[in-house]
Structure 1
Amino acid sequence: MKKLAGLLIMMVLLVMSSRVMAQCSLCTKTAQQLGEGPAKGLNSGILYLAGAPLLIIIFLAVRWYRSNRQTSEL
């Protein structure tokens, strides 16, 4: 369980990092035209919007892992 918690913490830190380049080619071109300040905001917004689906996937994976572990011990 400690390994799973460590993995979750690492994933959250990775998602929250503003230095991660998470832009498609169209967003990159738009960000280059906006300048450095708005480009950082755009990148942070993309990462923020990606966080919700990732958290849902993590939640479902943890629930599946717990239910699968309980049924296999019986």
Structure 2
Amino acid sequence: MFSKEKIGKGRKGMRVVLLLLLVSCFFSVDANAQCAMCRAALESEESGVQAGAVNDGIVYLMAIPYILVGAIGYAIYRLKYGSKRKEK
């Protein structure tokens, strides 16, 4: 089923992926991903209240998809493995 040629090619491919992952960890690209209006609003205020509010909003927007995926994953887990416990 698994020949030595296929196993050898798989290992070589894995080495390439590992090498690319290692190289990408050492080199990073600096990106300015903030729109001009947000940057102007945050730089003009000295107290930092608005900057804190923007950061809180970013965290909120980032957390919602993770919570949804987790809830869906848990529901699927309960549907798949919940009925097996009841049968035993």
Higher helix share: 1
**TM-score of the two chains, using structure 2 as the length reference:** 0.41
Higher normalized contact order (CA 8 Å, seq sep 6+, divided by chain length): 1
**TM-score of the two chains, using structure 1 as the length reference:** 0.47
Greater C-alpha radius of gyration: 2
